[in-house]
């Protein structure tokens, strides 16, 4: 991808305090990018993280490197949510329901368009994180389908499109409290996923490959 820097993955082991600072910076970057866009100033990210600018630059040389690690963090956290839901919930559809609501908290609808142009999609770390996330979501949906409670005419792509659309911030300032409605609308969507299906969907089930096809 033109203009995207290659990010090294062989970073030295960090001290505990440095690890905490790095995690605070990534968390602050996630929050501020949702609020202000991917071009939010490093000053604001450092202020939100409670660190100095010099500390931020010691961890992340430029915006591309920071966006790379924010993307990894989001993918890892969503995969964690899917794996925990499947491991901890006794009912497979309840695990799917829990994962969907949990994934909203990661703001994937807001972050996906912000981060997509600032990363190298062929970077080994990102490929590994994507594979783990794909496997985790596929496992949750597969278990729900095997239980007989998930309708059979949808695929992971359908779920990810809905999650992205339902959690994408609306433009302008007239809907500042939009977030408070998201879980309500997700619940309606989840009810529509349950078997037996009450209608026939147009088209075919959307796969992850469909989403990535340009």
Q: Mean pLDDT for each consecutive 10-residue tract of the chain (214 residues)? A: 48 74 93 85 96 94 90 91 96 96 80 68 90 95 96 91 75 57 84 88 84 70
The phi, psi pair for 150, rounded to 5°, reads -105, 130
The phi, psi pair for 121, rounded to 5°, reads -65, -15
pLDDT of residue 133: 92
pLDDT of residue 3: 47
Q: Name, in order, each residue with C-beta under 8 angstroms of 106's C-beta and a sequence gap of 6 or more.
A: 74, 77, 78, 81
Q: Name, in order, each residue with C-beta under 8 angstroms of 182's C-beta and a sequence gap of 6 or more.
A: 104, 166, 167
- Rounded CA-CA distance 50/23 in Å is 11
Q: Name, in order, each residue with C-beta under 8 angstroms of 152's C-beta and a sequence gap of 6 or more.
A: 145, 195, 197
pLDDT of residue 204: 87
Cβ pair 69, 8 in contact under 8 A: no
For the chain, the C-alpha Rg in angstroms (whole number) is 19
3-state secondary structure of 79: helix
pTM more than 0.85: no
Q: Name, in order, each residue with C-beta under 8 angstroms of 32's C-beta and a sequence gap of 6 or more.
A: 40, 44, 45, 48
Q: In the numeric block, which tokens belong to residue 2?
A: 């033109």
Q: Report in angstroms the alpha-carbon separations of 105 from 38, 182, 183, 196, 209.
A: 18, 10, 10, 29, 25
pLDDT of residue 161: 85
pLDDT of residue 1: 41
pLDDT of residue 20: 92
pLDDT of residue 105: 82
Cβ pair 26, 69 in contact under 8 A: yes
């Amino acid at each position: 991808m033109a203009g995207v820097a290659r990010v090294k993955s062989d970073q030295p082991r960090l001290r505990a305090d440095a690890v905490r600072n790095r995690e605070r910076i990534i968390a602050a970057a996630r929050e501020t990018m949702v609020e202000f866009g991917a071009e939010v100033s490093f000053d604001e990210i450092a202020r939100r993280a409670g660190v100095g600018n010099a500390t931020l630059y010691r961890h992340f040389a430029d915006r591309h490197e920071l966006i790379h690690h924010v993307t990894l963090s989001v993918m890892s956290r969503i995969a964690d949510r899917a794996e925990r839901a499947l491991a901890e919930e006794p009912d497979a559809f309840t695990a799917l329901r829990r994962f969907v609501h949990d994934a909203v908290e990661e703001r994937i609808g807001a972050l996906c368009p912000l981060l997509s142009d600032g990363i190298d999609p062929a970077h080994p770390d990102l490929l590994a994180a994507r594979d783990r996330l794909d496997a985790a979501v596929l496992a949750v949906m597969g278990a729900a389908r095997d239980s007989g409670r998930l309708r059979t005419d949808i695929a992971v792509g359908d779920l990810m499109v809905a999650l992205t659309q339902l959690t994408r911030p609306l433009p302008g300032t007239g809907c500042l409290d939009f977030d408070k409605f998201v879980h309500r609308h997700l619940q309606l969507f989840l009810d529509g996923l349950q078997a037996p299906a009450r209608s026939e969907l147009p088209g075919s089930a959307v796969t992850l490959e469909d989403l990535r096809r340009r």
